[in-house]
Structure 1
Amino acid sequence: MPQEQSEDFARLYLATPRLAEVEPFLSRLSAALAAAEVASLLLRLETMPPAAAERAISAVAAIAQPAGVALLIEGEPELVSRCGADGLHLPYDEKRLATAIKRLSPDFIVGVGALASRDEAMRAGEAGADYLLFGDIGEDGAPPSLQWTAERVAWWAEIFNTPCVALAHSLAEVGPLSAAGAEFVSLDRAVWDDPRGPAEAMREAARLVREAAK
């Protein structure tokens, strides 16, 4: 799972945009990671040749891992161990999840998102996923409302032990999702599209999760 904590507030899980190349992005990433404590980083890459993907992952790992940030990637299980990443994130698919867990657990993190129903969430948890992400899609396949995600997080956190990650589509959603019981709050476009820059967005997110725990 993403790195755990002893404090009672949610930790931050940052996801990159889908990148065709990482070099122009590294300065913005460095600024974001330096501005607030981040538990995990999900690197999303456009389809590219394996050698290029490995170079991209290595470049990001060189920034994230020395800062204590667990680096997760999308893709195939073999890419995780080959590139020195800490884990794999994948959309829910029963067979793919089982394969990833078999090949990577317990040495690497295996997380799952795109959980359209409670039944899928329970199946993912029973299969051995290290964390579940709520908020990337709703039951109709579209991005869900804050209320939908908060209700799903509260349900999961009350009943199950597997950590849950809640995707905040805006900084305004960070506090409510943290208060709903998410162990981790995920941010992507809310950080990268912030006109103040990613560092200021991350500082605000860190403040919001702490305030939600008071």
Structure 2
Amino acid sequence: MPPRVEGLYAVTPDGLDDARLFELAAAALAGDARALQYRDKSGDAARRLRQAAALRRLCGEHGALFIVNDDVALALQVGADGVHLGRDDGDIAAARAALGPDAVIGASCYNRIELARAALAAGASYVAFGAVFPSQTKPEAVVAPLALFAEAAALGAQTVAIGGITPANAAQVAAAGAGAIAVIGGLFDAPDTGAAARALAGCFTER
């Protein structure tokens, strides 16, 4: 049985050098991020392997889950806890077969409950909806209404919200029933990543 993805789910920004990436990731984890997703679209295989392996060790030190974005082979190579797949990132059933029954497999479902149903049937551990708020990372993203989290809960799904989430609006998402909030800019662009992480994580202890 895969572990649950709950609370603050940090997603790394693209393009950071090693020192800055590891510094910010450590601050997020110290601030009670319960999972961290490595997202790097550079195509530099050596860089991705080096950074993913280091982040995997860091997550282990903090007792947090380590998830790789869209790369099942890299997840296997570094012993990640799982993988997150977007619409064009590969087959969920194939990822489940490759990673095994205990892996976390997340699926982007955008603003469509029918995608969530299909992802769960294929073996996804959690379904992600977003953007729940306007996103600087993906300004073209569709808007996902907060009502989707109650609909997905009725399916028995673990749910993750993403898109434009900050310490100022995260409580709305937690109150709507999201099991976790995936945050990039609202966490890593903050003046104090650790303080932002604590504020974001706190939305789940208060509900």
TM over 0.5: yes
Shift of 1:68: 0.7
Name the % identity: 26
Residue 99 of structure 1 corresponds to: 94
1:176 is displaced (CA, Å) by: 1.2
Cα distance, 1:105 vs structure 2: 2.8
Match of 2:81 among 81, 86, 91: 86
CA contact (8 A) 1:54 1:83 kept: yes
Take 1:188 and 1:2, find their aligned partners in 2: how far apart are those partners?
24
* TM-score, structure 2 as length reference: 0.85
* Contact 1:71/1:86 (<8 A) preserved: yes
> What does residue range 15-26 of structure 1 map to in structure 2 within 5 Å?
15-19=11-15, 21-26=17-22
Deviations 1:9-43 (A, max 9, x none): x51111111235333221122112112x2221111
Residue 189 (structure 1) shift:
0.7
Which residue in the other structure is 2:68 paired with? 73
**Which has the larger helix fraction?**
1
Match of 2:52 in 1: 57
| 2:4 corresponds to | 4
Q: How many residues align?
A: 201
Distance 1:27-1:20 versus aligned 2 partners, 3 A rule: closer
Structure 1: how far apart are the matches of 2:43 and 2:163?
Answer: 28
SS in 1 for 2:91: helix
Report which stretch shifted further, 113-122 or 65-74. 113-122
Q: CA shift at 1:208, angstroms?
A: 2.5
Partner amino acid, structure 2, of 1:143: A
Which 5+ residue runs of structure 1 have no aligned equivalent?
none
**Could you list the per-position Cα deviations for residues 83-113 of structure 1 after superposition, in whole angstroms to 9, with x for gaps in the alignment?**
1211110103596222212211313211111
Cross-structure match for 2:26: 30
CA drift at 1:114: 4.3
Q: Is the 8 A contact 1:91 1:115 kept in 2?
A: no
* Residues 94 and 124 in structure 1, CA contact (< 8 A), matched pair in contact too: no
Tell me the C-alpha RMSD between the 2 structures: 2.5
